[in-house]
Structure 1
Amino acid sequence: MLHKCEGYVIRTVPYGETNKIVTLYTRELGKVGVMARGAKKTNSRLSSITQPFTHGSFLFQRGQGIGTLQQGERLSSTRSIQQDIMKTAYASYLSELLDKSVEESKQDPFLFEFFHQLMSRLEDGNDPEILTAIFEIKLLPLLGYYPTLNQCANCGETEGHFHFSIRENGLLCHRCFEVDPYRFQVTPHTIRLIRVFYAFDLSRLGNISVKEQTKKEIRQVIDSYYEEYTGIFIKSKRFLRQMTSDMWNLSSSNEKET
């Protein structure tokens, strides 16, 4: 059966001397694996359309096993992502996280639209660290995790000063800090942003500016939460963290010199 779907290339794996196995995340069918025959050849009509992060319209034949990609047409440019090493690192992580988080052929038009907006914002130059944090937080319900963010996870109070507890799966108010001595002692602004990101509509994102220290606190909370609860290991994450760490150190060094 032939299918025509809008989608993104989220993973490619070489197969033999000339072929690729391509994982698409599509609006109509969810995650789909297809064989792109001859796509490793530079003169192949499938070569450019099967590059990582490509947003396109894909025509493929699908039966009992893996489908076969027949043709594709690019729908929007991701050139900025493909030509910028930092954007490429973030896009690789986001694509791999999506791949690890969704099941084969499970349709979710809302998640597709969110990922589409995410990649468009990344292409347009929005802060990739903030985009990544929003995506990671909003994926949690899909993965079956619901951190307590509107009240204290221990006593239920909604007013007070809050820290974040990985062990208690959410916020702890100042009355309950002793429940978890290893809680993250983050600022009220960090708590507020985590709450906002959890319920955020990406289409409303403007030019948001977040201090580096706040980003660092958000990153510590999210990384620890994923490590504790999800069990998802992302190969591209180590490379991304090394790059952002190098950028952080370079920025700090430049600030000291000036």
Structure 2
Amino acid sequence: MLYRVEGIVIRSTDYGEGNKIITLLTPDFGKQGIVVRGAKKLKSRYGALAQLFTYGEYSYYKNNSLGTLNSGEIIESYYQLREGLEKPAYAAYAAELTDRAINDDETAAFLFHQLKACQAALTEDKDPQVVLRVYEMRVVSTAGYAPILDECVHCGKQEGDFRFSFVAGGALCHNCRHRDPGAIELMDGVWKLLRLFAHLDLRRLGHITVKDSTKIQLQLVMRKWMDTHLNLNLKSRHFLDQLEKYGEMLVKPKPMADQEPLSDREVTNDAD
């Protein structure tokens, strides 16, 4: 049967002497595995369609678990995400997280558009750490593991001081925090951003700056949350952690003074 879909390449592996197998994230059919014959050859017509992060239109035959590419056209190559060190690291992490977090053939229209927006934001030099935190929240929400942030997970209280519990499912109020001694305190700005990210469409993310201490705590929360509920062991994450910890970033976040909590208007553009 012949299929024609839009898709983003989230995995590309060598197959035989001159071929590649790519995994596409598509809006209507979820993940689709496709053999691209001759993709490794220098004069291949379809070599560019098999490159990681490429967004294109793919026509393929499929009779079993793997399809075979018939034709295709690149819509956006996102070549910037394959240059240098920093952007490829963040983009690879987003792609592998997507690949591991959803099942084959699982409809993924919303996540498809969020990943496309994530890749676009990285090419536009938006703060990659902020972009990835928003995207991680989109992934865990799609997987059904979004944290409860607006009320106590145990008693439902909506006001007061909260701690964040990874095992209980989110916010714990002062009276219920004894239920998880491991629950952690978060800065007010981190609570604000987590709540904002929980509902933010990446297609409306503007250029924002967040102080380093806030980004560190945001990363801690999202990474530990995913470790607790998704339990993924991502190679790209290990590399990215080393890059952030020991490597010199090619694009440094601009330093800023202590910030006020950000409003929805401040983190979004008017344009879609």
Structure with greater helix percent: 1
Q: Could you say what secondary structure the match of 2:4 adopts? A: strand
Instruction: Give the distance between the partners of 1:214 and 1:247, measured in 2 at CA.
Output: 20
Q: Could you say what secondary structure the match of 1:75 adopts? A: strand
Q: Give the match for residue 28 of structure 2.
A: 28
**Alignment check: 8 A CA contact 1:163 1:191 kept:** no
Instruction: Give the distance between the partners of 2:250 and 2:82, measured in 1 at CA.
Output: 23
Deviation at 1:249, TM superposition (A): 9.9
Q: Does 1:48 align with 2:19?
A: no
Deviation at 1:28, TM superposition (A): 3.2
Instruction: Give the distance between the partners of 1:175 and 1:106, measured in 2 at CA.
Output: 40
Instruction: Give the distance between the partners of 1:97 and 1:202, measured in 2 at CA.
Output: 16
Q: Give the match for residue 111 of structure 1.
A: 111
Which residue type is aligned with residue 44 of structure 1? S
Q: Give the match for residue 78 of structure 1.
A: 78
Q: Give the match for residue 207 of structure 1.
A: 207
Q: Give the match for residue 187 of structure 1.
A: 187
Instruction: Give the distance between the partners of 1:227 and 1:143, measured in 2 at CA.
Output: 13
Which residue type is aligned with residue 203 of structure 1? R
Higher alpha-carbon deviation: 45-54 or 155-164: 155-164
Name structure 2 gaps, 5 residues minimum. 256-272
Deviation at 1:201, TM superposition (A): 1.8
Instruction: Give the distance between the partners of 1:250 and 1:164, measured in 2 at CA.
Output: 33
Deviation at 1:251, TM superposition (A): 11
Instruction: Give the distance between the partners of 2:61 and 2:5, measured in 1 at CA.
Output: 11
**Alignment check: 8 A CA contact 1:49 1:73 kept:** yes
**Alignment check: 8 A CA contact 1:137 1:222 kept:** yes
Q: Does 1:61 align with 2:61?
A: yes
Which residue type is aligned with residue 49 of structure 1? L
Deviation at 1:50, TM superposition (A): 0.7
Q: Could you say what secondary structure the match of 1:145 adopts? A: coil
Deviation at 1:197, TM superposition (A): 0.5
Q: Give the match for residue 227 of structure 1.
A: 227
Q: Structure 1 vs Structure 2: percent identity of aligned residues?
A: 36
Higher alpha-carbon deviation: 121-130 or 240-249: 240-249
Instruction: Give the distance between the partners of 1:65 and 1:250, measured in 2 at CA.
Output: 40
Q: Does 1:154 align with 2:154?
A: yes
Instruction: Give the distance between the partners of 1:68 and 1:35, measured in 2 at CA.
Output: 5
**Alignment check: 8 A CA contact 1:96 1:236 kept:** yes
Higher alpha-carbon deviation: 16-25 or 155-164: 155-164
Q: Could you say what secondary structure the match of 2:176 adopts? A: helix
Alignment of 1:126-137 (within 5 A): 126-137=126-137
TM-score, normalisation: structure 2: 0.87
Instruction: Give the distance between the partners of 1:48 and 1:212, measured in 2 at CA.
Output: 37
Instruction: Give the distance between the partners of 1:157 and 1:106, measured in 2 at CA.
Output: 35
Q: Give the match for residue 236 of structure 1.
A: 236
**Alignment check: 8 A CA contact 1:184 1:221 kept:** no
Q: Does 1:39 align with 2:39?
A: yes
Deviation at 1:89, TM superposition (A): 0.5
Higher alpha-carbon deviation: 160-169 or 172-181: 172-181
Q: Deviations over 1:36-78 (max 9, x none)?
A: 1111112111111111101111111111231101222111241
Q: Aligned pair count? A: 253
Q: Could you say what secondary structure the match of 1:223 adopts? A: helix
Deviation at 1:27, TM superposition (A): 2.5
Which residue type is aligned with residue 109 of structure 1? A
Q: Could you say what secondary structure the match of 2:49 adopts? A: helix
Name structure 1 gaps, 5 residues minimum. none
Higher alpha-carbon deviation: 242-251 or 49-58: 242-251
Deviation at 1:10, TM superposition (A): 0.6
**Alignment check: 8 A CA contact 1:24 1:31 kept:** yes
Task: Name the CA shift for 1:248/1:177 in 2 (closer, same or farther; >3 Å).
Answer: farther
Q: Give the match for residue 15 of structure 1.
A: 15
Higher alpha-carbon deviation: 58-67 or 5-14: 58-67
